[in-house]
Every structure is written in C-alpha cells, then in structure tokens.
Structure 1
C-alpha cells in the first residue's frame, strides 16, 4: 500500500524543512513518531486490523473537483494502490493548465505537462492502472449528473460553496493552509460540517463593475468576449449599454466571472499538499469500505496534521459540527432535506448490496 510510504516521505520532508528554514521553531525531539491513516491519528505503530488487500474495490461514481497539488496526490495515491477499479471523473477548469508553479507540488506533472489541461494530463499520465479516468476541462458543478461521492480538492471558498450546492450523498474534502493539512468527511446533514461551513465565499465583483471593465477594454475585448460567450458583437454592445438580465446577459456575466483573476496564491509547501492528498485518498477508500474515520470515535469527521510541531496532541481526528451561520446546510434550507434523503437512500442501497 502506498499510504504509509507517502506520509512517511512527507513527514521526513517536513523535518528537513523545519530544521533548514525554521530552526528556531523546531519542536524538541521526542523520538520516533508516525501517522496511521486507518485511524487518522499519531502513533508509533500501524493498526494491525487495517486491510492489506483492496482487490476489486470499485470507485465508480466518484468525482474529483480540482486537479492541483492535493488532487494530483489523490490521483497518484489511488493509481499506486493495487486492486482498485471503476470509473472516476476528473474536473478542473484552470484556463492556464499546468504551469511552472505547479511542478513543485503536483507529483504527476513534469515539464512535458506544461500548458496542458490539468484533468486531461492527469488522466493521460495515470491511465496504466485498472481505474478508468474521465477528464473534463470544466468545473465539476457544470457537468451533468451528481456523483455518488464528491471529492473536493479545490482551493477557494467560492468553489467549495458551488460544489456543496450539488448536495451529493457523500462529500470528502482536503485542503491546506500554511503548514497544516486537513481532511473532512462532510455531514451527515445537520450533524457535521458541510463544504460551505466556516468557509464564507469570497465576494463577487459586481455586475456593473464587470460591464464597466469590459466597456473600457475596447473593441478587441468586445470581439473576444462575443466569441467566448457564443453571442454576437451587437449582443455584447447592447448588454454593455443596457445590462439586460436575459440569456445573453447571463452568458456574458458567466464568461466575465470565469475570466476574473484568481485570488492571490498563498504560502504552500509540497509536503502539506501531499499529506492532504494521501489522507483524502485513504478516506475515499475507508468510506467505500464503510469504515469510520477513527474506530474509537464514530462521530469523528475531521482530521488535521500541522507540521510546525508534528507530535502535538492537536494532530488527530475529531468532530467538526455544522457552522450555525452556514446557509447551505441549515435545517431550514429545503436543499438540506434533499441531501438527507440522498444520504439515506445511499445507505439503504449499500445495505442491500452487502452480504449477510
């Protein structure tokens, strides 16, 4: 299994980083330590009950949103796990594709991948395994259908909110911040945090501001906008003058928002992304096996590792309840009822398939 080696490599890289870059902040050595992905906790020895053979485990119905540092590690880990099968959807809408800034954190990509669409390139590289990858150069929420299990590896709160609005029955998420990696099993509805919880979306630029920018960019920008949105230049000029809320206006606003600059890149190091991706892969498999995040705590749904002090007691799995201010999973939101119904139906279907 690749999980242990991958996490061990990340822990070792973190030790080197701390001693070289942050020598005054290195935690005092306490001997050997490790991380058990089966229990998502610090430990000095692996759990002997963890499975050693995943032959025939079918991942069909799983979809990954975001093929960046965390997402490519998730793909790499599943690719390296013997016996996994099934069809997986990969979706990433990054217009720039693979850039040089991706090469130090995305383990699948090399120089030959530069400028290529991330999802397509990841599917091509990982195609020599029993998993069939279906790649899309688009946002996952823009695709038809709702996956059985949604894997979120996106890096903005706006994207997380859009994914949550699809309300698939199973949602897993991983993210990083500074020297911390985190993985979440969203829900269950009403009892656990959703993707939108504690992650207020970044504010949208106003419609009038977008129109003013498009108008100021001149005739060349108008022509390019018309081509990209699939409308005529006359349609663009009419919308710029009047701002009609019709189908043309919706297309143009969607196109302009898609072309908005991304939020500034935050500090990131490869070992945190790699750890988040591996934890996400293990939770994917454990969820399919109906195994809890932590056997001793059935309601745990959130695990974190912060590397500034890798042996700190905060590095473990715990329960993350709903954000009381979150509108996406509030019990007063009708969509939460739909989410609950989908979860219940999936549980019933799963029970039917399991042998007695």
Structure 2
C-alpha cells in the first residue's frame, strides 16, 4: 500500500471546525435491502463518501443483507450488499478504510434501516427528491417504493457531513437534530410538509455538455447514471488527470486507486458503460473540443455544433477563465455547480434575463499580478523562512534560494524557473467529499427539473446554497453585472 496523501485537501483548515481530526470507527445498520431501492442508493453513496474521509474515519462496520441492484461506481452485476461495499472501499482507498463485519466497539452508530431497532447516534433516510437526517428515529412514514437516487444521495452527503463535523470538532454551527430537505423546492423543514418532485426513473433530460470531470462533474454523472433515465446524452469535456499523489481521490466519486494518473474522462466513460448512460467523452480543453474531429459524437449534436448551438451546458469547473469560456459559447441554459469550504452551490443561468450569467461575477484572476505578489512576499522573508516555505515545492532548492537572495537577479539565472513556477501555482483549497456530492446532486436536480417540469423552473430562484455547518439552505437570485461582456 503506497503512501498517498488522500487526506490532504479535507485536512486543511476550514471555518467553523477544529484543525485536527479524531479518526472514528463507524457502524452502519442498513437492514434488509431487497425491495428498497432508496436504501440501496443511500448505502452505496454513503460508503463511497466516507471511504474517502481519510483521517476522519478509521473503519466501517456494516450490517447489510440481500443483493444490490443499483448502479455501483466500480463494478456491474447483482452482488451481495456487504461484499459489494467491502470491494467498493478497497477500490476507493486500497484498504486504508476497510468495510468489515460488526465489532465490539464503535465511535459513531448510524441507522438507515427501516425498523428503528438500533440505538444510534444518527438516523437517515432519502426518498424521491427529499432527504432527512436526525439524532432520533424518524417520526414520519417511510415509503420505500421510489427508485430515484436524488434524495438518498443528498441524505448520504448529510450523514457524511455529520461524521466529519464530529471528527473535526464543531466550533461554530450545529449538529443535526431533525433535518429534512427538498431538492424539488429547495426548502428545509418538516418532512411531511415538504413537497416531493415527480418520479425520475424512466424520465428524460435534454442533451447536455458537462465541462469539468472533477469532483462535482463526476458526481453529476454518478447521479444521472444512477437515475435510470429513459433518455439522456452527456458530452463530458476535461483535460486533466487524477493527480499522482492521490489527493483527487478524496472526492472524485467515480475514481479509485487504480485511476491515479489517468484521465478523468476515462472514469466517466467506465461508469457510463456500467450504468447505461449514453454520452461521449473528450480528453482536452473546451477550446480543443471546439476544433476537434468527433466522429463518435451523436449526429444531432454535430449538426447543432456546426451552427454554434449549445442548448444546455453544465459547468463543473473551478477556474474563472474556464467559466468565461463556457459562457462564450452562448448556451441557451447553463447549470453551474461549485463548492466553497462547507458550502455547496448550484445555479441556473439563462432562465431569468435579469439574473447573472456564468461570466458576470466569475471574472478571470490576474495571475501575473498574483505571481509578482507571491515573489515579493518570498523576497521579504529571511532565508530560513524561504527554505521552510519552498522545501519540497521546487526542483532545486539551493538555486531557488540563490535567485531570491540575489540583489540584482538576472533573467535566465538558475533557480528563476523554479521560483516563477512556484509563484504562479495556486494552492489547493479545502475540499471534501460530501460537499462536492451535495453540489453535484443539487446541480443534477436542476438539470432533471429542466427535463421534467418547465413550470417548476419558474417557481425556483436562480441559486441554491446549502451550508453544512448550520444545515441551512438559502435560495437567491443575483443580478447581472452591467459591465459583463456576455450579458451586461
């Protein structure tokens, strides 16, 4: 087992939680899963999420009976639930967080079964478009005949969030007590009073372009593939690989240890084949895609692209210049998904002419000015401080230090390239599995709403933000920027 930094991104500081995690042994009671597709979705997504929480979860004890029939991210076929989840964890993390039978000791107990027979710390349920997590058993009647994954997947994200908060320690915010949320309306409140959406299983969505196959992008494909849609076609575009250090694996839901250093679009293609979702993958940038030959792309999309028609685009990128490139296509509708610390966000663009477009407030960074500021900061440090900051981050540490401390640095001097590369790099920010999955589910829910109910799109505000610290959801509409080159 190699020494990969799986926990690097979610071990970083984030507002409201402690700095150091205390690893937990987690026990999950799933019960008899035959006849409950909702609980199968909830279990599969929950194991996929918490098997990536390195440093916060030590081991997963699981009680689960019967076969799984829902789509799994790594293998196809009807498989016994326990064996499937044990293999999923090994595939995800190489055995670092194992799924094992029930033991004598557990730090946190989770009950997602229907019987309420266990004394648990957390209870959870998801069905249709609704999700619930609580500290006591549910008081509402749980209907198990829905096959949709939206509510169960969001419930899994809520549970994983509660585990993470307990592991890190909560400084500001609150723990779950009795929290229900509707992805159909965007509202939180009492389960019985929240509106549910139409059945997704067997439904249709418009052809869509997914730009970005990282955490949110893979989560969107995961949801669409697990939804068993009658008609869907997703074109996925991404130029990146899963990094060699393995830090992408803490939140890229369709990737396991065997996918390190491989293109992100490859795992999307694999999951499409497992789940039956139709589509096309392109390994390259959006600008590369626009000029490339695409012989295997659906003919109807080739014909539209010849006329520069892009009707529905899903933005799952985290760089503002990429968002500008997407808006530059002039799509009819854009659905954006993103994360910020412990906040998950999804946005409709193009449905309200008075609301922001994707390019309005996502202005490109001035990378040259930022790099100059970083270099100036380095030069102001002592040599010991410089050494501490640069060690492990440059190829030739001594040459880099000599370049920094030369009173008259010359272009082309040894060490210059190392310093320029370091100053231009962007330090990865906090990012964790359950926030990315929540954003993906919220984004997929908006895409599904477009296909299932035009009337509902008129009732929702453009933007939804879910706060994991406070378990609160905000819906809002942001005005366009008058100076925006795309819509202002």
SS at match of 1:119: helix
Structure with bigger RCO (C-alpha 8 Å, 6+ apart): 1
Is contact 1:157–1:201 with CA below 8 Å preserved after alignment? Answer: yes
Q: Which structure shows the higher strand fraction?
A: 2
Unaligned regions of 5+ residues in structure 2, if any? 1-147, 291-304, 373-422
Identify which of 278, 282, 289 aligns with 2:445. Answer: 282
Is 1:2 equivalent to 2:144 in the alignment? no
Is contact 1:96–1:115 with CA below 8 Å preserved after alignment? Answer: yes
**Partner residue in 2 for 1:310:** 471
SS at match of 1:33: strand
**Partner residue in 1 for 2:18:** none
Q: Deviations for 1:7-61, whole angstroms, at most 9, x for unmatched residues?
A: 11111111222233132324266x31122111122133265551124415144x2
For residues 1-356 of structure 1, what are the structure 2 equivalents within 5 Å? 1-27=148-174, 31-45=177-191, 47=194, 49-59=196-206, 61-94=207-240, 100-144=246-290, 145=305, 146-188=309-351, 190-205=353-368, 263-291=426-454, 298=459, 300-311=461-472, 315-330=473-488
Q: Which structure shows the higher helix fraction?
A: 1
Q: 1:293 to 1:66 in 2, by over 3 A?
A: farther
Q: 1:299 to 1:9 in 2, by over 3 A?
A: closer
Looking at structure 2, the residues matched to 69 and 91 of structure 1 have their Cα atoms a distance apart, in angstroms, of: 14
- Aligned residue pairs total 271
SS at match of 2:273: coil
Q: What's the Cα RMSD here?
A: 2.5
Is contact 1:104–1:270 with CA below 8 Å preserved after alignment? Answer: yes
1:261, distance to aligned residue in structure 2 (A): 6.1
Looking at structure 1, the residues matched to 189 and 278 of structure 2 have their Cα atoms a distance apart, in angstroms, of: 35
Q: TM-score, normalised by structure 2?
A: 0.52
Higher Rg: 2
Q: TM-score, normalised by structure 1?
A: 0.70
Q: 1:106 to 1:84 in 2, by over 3 A?
A: farther
Of 130-139 and 120-129, the range deviating more from structure 2:
120-129
Of 126-135 and 93-102, the range deviating more from structure 2:
93-102
Unaligned regions of 5+ residues in structure 1, if any? 210-259, 331-356
Shift >6 Å, 4+ stretches = none
Is contact 1:42–1:316 with CA below 8 Å preserved after alignment? Answer: no
Q: 1:17 to 1:58 in 2, by over 3 A?
A: closer
